[in-house]
Amino acid sequence: MSSRHDIDSLIDRFKKHDKIALARLITLIENQPELAPEIFKHFENNTNEAHIIGITGSPGVGKSTLTNAICKKLLEENKKIGVISVDPTSPFSGGAFLGDRVRMTDVSLHPNVFIRSLASRGYHGGLSRAVFDISMLYEAYGMDIIIIETVGVGQAELDIYNLAYTIIVVLVPGYGDVIQMQKAGIIEIGDIYDVNKKDLGGEDIAVQIEMMLDDSTTFQGGWRPPVSMTNSITGEGVIELVQNIWDHEEHLRLSELIKEKKKNRYSYKIRQLLSSKIEQILIEKVLGKEEISQLAMKTLENGKFKLYDEVQKVFEDALKKILK
Ligand SMILES: Nc1nc2c(ncn2[C@@H]2O[C@H](COP(=O)(O)OP(=O)(O)OP(=O)(O)O)[C@@H](O)[C@H]2O)c(=O)[nH]1
Ligand SMILES: [Mg+2]
């Protein structure tokens, strides 16, 4: 199911806003990234640009529920929305995939919303590649807004900083969360802060974030991140949060910072593409599995402390071969 003809007919249906065709193209590009150029070729005349939002925060703070509530609000504004939900599917939160489906069923059947969950496990670094490619498909499909949900631990939140234009950091009542986020260095990346589960308190957290922001001396281009409080189950406070999103979008547009954000997004992607190509050349043409295991044998024989030198030598030889 990937012959040229199949792709062409999928694209035809995609262009007629067939959600099933969108879903299939996503699956195709997810599993066979090498098809991306052929697929994207069909959209060369498409100029639609979406505003890309990243929602991040610790597990269970309500990111998916909040995404659902934001979608509802945006649908009232007649927006078309694509969601990419990166689920950790950790052994501890097993079944998160289905859980997200359930929490988002509210909006997922609406013709102007499309939701894709990606299991973060098993991607081995290719996750942001998939997130990027899917967001390209969403833009080609005509989405006005793209929401990327990631758990704010590990590598993923660094990726989101490079991939999205407006970052929402979600926190919940209880100081532990703020401290954990501070440790992980995530707390600083927010353009907007939201204290969710306000039905459980949270005033103190909002104050703490405001104080933290007051201590920061530099705000990017004069933007001081606003702090909202929501109950994403009832939708309370979501109007304010969505207003903050639009304010930030306007700020980026008027200050032309959006150009920087976009430049950063594509630079990031280009670096990724290039380094994977270089890696591929190295592995396929110069240093395959066989050569690497020979090198390992040599290391065992000659002493493990020579490992770095040996690798450097092999690398230099490889470079010479490539450049020849
Ligand atoms: N009391 C209360 N519970 C909430 C609120 N928002 C979400 N929840 C509940 O919090 C739990 C986790 O919500 P999710 O939306 O799955 O949280 P998440 O951050 O997406 O979780 P992961 O994707 O697993 O990290 C669910 O049981 C929600 O019903 C809220 O505003 N108040
Ligand atoms: Mg979730």
The CATH number assigned to the domain holding 98 equals 3.40.50.300
Residues 30 and 116: beta-carbon distance below 8 Å: no
Instruction: Indicate if 13 and 100 belong to the same structural domain.
Output: no
pTM across the whole model:
0.88
What is the Å distance from ligand 2's center to 90 Cα? 12
Find out whether the beta carbon of 80 lies less than 6 Å from any atom of ligand 1: no
Look at residues 138, 136, 105, 81 and name the one whose alpha carbon lies nearest to residue 265. Answer: 136
Instruction: Indicate if 8 and 78 belong to the same structural domain.
Output: no
What is the Å distance from ligand 1's center to 168 Cα? 15
Instruction: Indicate if 86 and 191 belong to the same structural domain.
Output: yes
Look at residues 102, 69, 71, 67 and name the one whose alpha carbon lies nearest to residue 85. Answer: 67
> Which atom of ligand 1 lies nearest, measured to the CA of 236?
31
- Look up residue 198 and give its DSSP letter: G
Residues 73 and 238: beta-carbon distance below 8 Å: yes
Instruction: Indicate if 153 and 246 belong to the same structural domain.
Output: yes
Domain count, the chain: 3
Instruction: Indicate if 230 and 181 belong to the same structural domain.
Output: yes
What is the Å distance from ligand 2's center to 76 Cα? 23
pLDDT in tens, the chain (324 residues): 557 778 999 999 999 999 999 999 999 998 888 899 999 999 999 999 999 999 998 888 999 999 999 999 999 999 999 999 987 654 444 444 455 544 566 788 899 999 998 876 655 557 788 899 999 999 999 999 999 998 876 555 567 888 999 999 999 998 666 776 677 666 678 999 999 999 998 888 898 888 888 877 666 678 999 999 999 999 999 999 999 999 999 999 999 999 999 999 999 999 989 988 888 888 877 778 888 898 899 889 988 898 999 889 888 888 887 787
H/E stretch holding 54:
strand 51-57
Instruction: Indicate if 41 and 133 belong to the same structural domain.
Output: no
Residue ranges making up the domain that contains 6: 1-45
Instruction: Indicate if 80 and 203 belong to the same structural domain.
Output: yes
Instruction: Indicate if 174 and 68 belong to the same structural domain.
Output: yes
Instruction: Indicate if 165 and 127 belong to the same structural domain.
Output: yes
Share of the chain residues as helix, strand and coil, in percent rounded to the nearest 5: 60, 15, 25
Instruction: Indicate if 252 and 313 belong to the same structural domain.
Output: no
Torsion of CA 189, 194, 196, 201, to 10 degrees: 110
Place of tokens 């009232």: 76
Instruction: Indicate if 127 and 175 belong to the same structural domain.
Output: yes
Residues 41 and 138: beta-carbon distance below 8 Å: no
Find out whether the beta carbon of 54 lies less than 6 Å from any atom of ligand 1: no
Instruction: Indicate if 253 and 217 belong to the same structural domain.
Output: yes
Which residues does 29 contact at the CB level (< 8 Å), separation at least 6?
35, 36, 39, 130, 133, 134, 137
Place of tokens 């308190």: 201
Which runs of consecutive H residues, i.e. helices, occur in 77-202? 96-108, 127-141, 156-163, 175-183
Nearest ligand to the CA atom of 89: 1
Q: For 110, what's the count of Cα atoms within 13 Å in the CB-facing half-sphere?
A: 21
The rounded distance, in Å, linking the Cα atoms of 149 and 134 is 13
